[in-house]
Structure 1
Amino acid sequence: MVANYLGYLRDRGPNVLGAVRRLAAEDTGPALVHCAAGKDRTGTLVAMVLDAVGVEREAIIEDYALSATRIEDMFTRWRARTGEPVPDADELDRHRPRARAMAEVLAVLDERAGGAAGWLLANGLTENELAILRARLAGA
């Protein structure tokens, strides 16, 4: 998963930056960030935002790992629509987010870019956009 998540940043950096910019736009109200399962692309984006605004690292990792509690429910819902059986326990477990994966992603960002804020700034986010994002989420 670490390679996948870093791949999102490498291969889809403009999309990540665009999503963060949208959250930082002065005319943005409440926002919902989601993807198919809400754990991989969403987890990466939300972790980036939380890290960039200064949320405690352990809280970011714990928040990400909470998605693991919903994997079976997601598959049950998806498979009910198609009539396919829910995967067995081993297959479900393969899809569960692992706290250590997000911890490693954030550690790599620290090492390579000075954290999520450094990555965002290096990829085009302005200091003003980052300040707006921080101010907006400081009360959240």
Structure 2
Amino acid sequence: MGRIVQGICFWRCIHLPISSETLGLVILESMASGLPVIAAKSGPTNEQVEHGVNGMLFENENIESMLEAVSVLEDPEHLDLLRRNARKEALDFAWDKTSQRLIDFYMEARNDTLLEVKLYSVEGRYV
């Protein structure tokens, strides 16, 4: 087991004070480990972290807002709820679910294309 993975077992949360997280892998991996995320608000972060539900958000470059978000560490019950919800959120992005969403997307696109071809052949034009 790597040292980082071993260390995560003792972490209470992950704190991301940057607003340039674009892909969200750090957030997703943290949530998968059962760590609530405390992060600066940004487009991608807002899509993954629901304030007070699976993590905490704060205004970028605002110390007061960050301190308020970090204060959740002082509330063991709320922190435990954030941990459980973070893990649930991450499970929605497990490979089996992600792969199924992709298959469903392709099947829908294929069905739409088949319908379009059928309509074209019946009516002699695209709809």
Scaled by the length of structure 1, the TM-score of the pair is 0.27
Larger relative contact order (Cα-Cα within 8 Å, sequence gap ≥ 6) = 1
Which has the larger helix fraction?
A: 1
Instruction: State which structure, 1 or 2, has the greater radius of gyration over its C-alpha atoms.
Output: 2
Which has the larger strand fraction?
A: 2
